Amino acid sequence: MRIIAGSARGARLVPVPDGVRPTSDRVREAVFNSLGQFFDGGEVLDLYAGTGALGIEALSRGYERATFIEKNGRATRVIRENLARAQLSDRGEVLRGDVAEVLDRLVLEERKFHLIFADPPYKMPPREIGGVLERLAALLASGGRIVVESGDPPPMRTTESLKGATRRYGGTLITFLERSKHTMKLAICPGSFDPITVGHLDIIHRVASIYDHVVVAVGKNVKKGPKLTAEERARLIEKVTGHLENVSVEIIDGLLVEFARERGAKVVVKGLRAGSDFESEFQQAQLNRMLYPEFETVFIMAAAEHSYLSSSAVREIASYGGNVRGLVPEEIQDIVQRLYVDGQAPTSDRG
Ligand code: PNS
C-alpha cells in the first residue's frame, strides 16, 4: 500500500491491523480521479480511518489538515506511524473513540471539513449509518464533499440535506455526497387554454413528473381574442390540476420572458402536435431566446390520441351545442358546454 500522488508519493504505508478492512489502492485512486488530483488547502475528516490511507493521500495532494477518527487502538497507532512515514505528522490529528460520540463533540465545537471520508463497517445497520451521515451534514463546510465507502448503497433518505451519486468499483460502492443546494427546477407551461383540453392536461401531468414545480401560465392578451377571460380560463385549469401538488396556475399579463425571469424560471415547456405546430413554436422559441438567452424551450410530444385535439376544435363543437366529452377534462365538461355554446364559431387557430 503506497501513497499514489502528491508530496508523499510512493511512501509505503504500514498494513492495516487484522479485522480492519482496508480501502484498496485501486478504489483510492478511483476516488481521487473523481474528486480531483491536487488541492489547495482545506480540512479533511477520515472516519473509521483504518490505515488512514485516504486522509493521508488527501494531505499528500494538498489538503492542509486531517483529523482521523478510529476506535481500534492498534489502528490509531498504525495511522500515527503512517503519518510519520509520509512526513505529515504535523498536519494530522488522530482521535480515538466511538465515531458517533467524537462526531457529536466536533459538531459542538462547530468544526467544518471540506472533505470527509466515511468507511463504516459493511455490517453496520443502515439506521446507524444514517445517524452518522446526519452528523456529517452538520460538519460539512460550504462546497465540501463527503465520500462514503460501503457494501450496500448508504441510506440516503435519512440525509435529505445531502445529495449525491453512487459508483461501483468491484464489490465496493463509493457514494459522493454534497449539500443539496435546493435549487428547485421550475418549468413554465404557457398557453391560451381557451379552454384547457385533455391534451393540455396530459402535457401538464408529464411536465409535473419531470420538474419540481410547474407554473401553468395563462396568456391574458393572447392574439386570438379568447372567448373567456384569463381569470375564467385559469379557474378551469385550477379545477382540473388541484390534485397535483407541484402545479400552480398564474396569469401572464405581458411578455413570457419577463414572467419567467421574475420567477427565476429558465425553462418553458410546450406540447407539440403534428408538424404544423412547429413553425410558430420555433419562431416563438427563437424570439424568447433572443430576449432571454438563458431561457430554454423544451417540447413534449403530444400523445398520438391527442394529435387531432385543439382548443379551437373544442370551441367550435361547443359553440354549436355539440358534445365535447372526452375532449376536455370531465370535471369541467358541463361548464365548458355552457360557457362556449352561444359564441360565434372561431376562425382557425392552433390553440
Ligand atoms: O396556446 P398558445 O397560443 O400556444 O399560447 C400562446 C402564449 C400565451 C404562450 C403566447 O402568446 C405567449 O407567450 N404570450 C405572452 C406574450 C409574449 O411573450 N409574447 C411573445 C412570444 S414570442
Q: Is the pLDDT of residue 315 over 50?
A: yes
| Across 294-307, average pLDDT | 94
Cα of 212 vs centre of ligand 1, distance in Å, is: 23
| Across 108-132, average pLDDT | 89
Q: What angle do CA 32, 38, 42 make, to 5 degrees?
A: 95
- pLDDT-based confidence at 52, cuts 50/70/90? very high
The CA-based diameter of the chain, rounded to the nearest angstrom, is 90
6's CB contacts (< 8 A; 6+ apart) are 38, 57, 59, 60, 61, 62
- pLDDT-based confidence at 165, cuts 50/70/90? confident
Q: Who wins on pLDDT, 347 or 321?
A: 321
Q: Which of 28, 61, 65, 200 is catalytic?
A: 200
- pLDDT-based confidence at 345, cuts 50/70/90? very low
Q: Which atom of ligand 1 is nearest to the CA of 218?
A: 8
Cα of 224 vs centre of ligand 1, distance in Å, is: 11
- pLDDT-based confidence at 347, cuts 50/70/90? very low
Q: Mutation test of ligand 1: which of 189, 192, 292 has the most ligand atoms closer than 8 Å to its C-beta?
A: 192
* Beta carbons within 10 angstroms of residue 281's beta carbon: 17
pLDDT of residue 232: 95
pLDDT of residue 123: 80
Query: Do residues 121 and 147 lie in contact, with contact meaning Cβ atoms separated by under 8 Å?
Result: no
- Tell me, using a 6 A CB cutoff, whether residue 191 lines ligand 1: yes
Out of 116-130, 232-246, 254-268, 337-351, pick the least confident. Answer: 337-351
Long-range contacts of 218-221 (CB under 8 A, 24+ apart): 218/190, 218/191, 218/192, 218/193, 218/249, 218/250, 218/251, 218/252, 219/190, 219/191, 219/192, 219/252, 220/251, 220/252, 220/253, 221/253
- Tell me, using a 6 A CB cutoff, whether residue 351 lines ligand 1: yes
Q: Who wins on pLDDT, 1 or 111?
A: 111
135 is catalytic: no
Q: Name which residue sits closest to atom 6 of ligand 1, judged by CA.
A: 191
Question: Taking the complete model, does pTM exceed 0.85, yes or no?
Answer: no
Q: Which atom of ligand 1 is nearest to the CA of 194?
A: 1
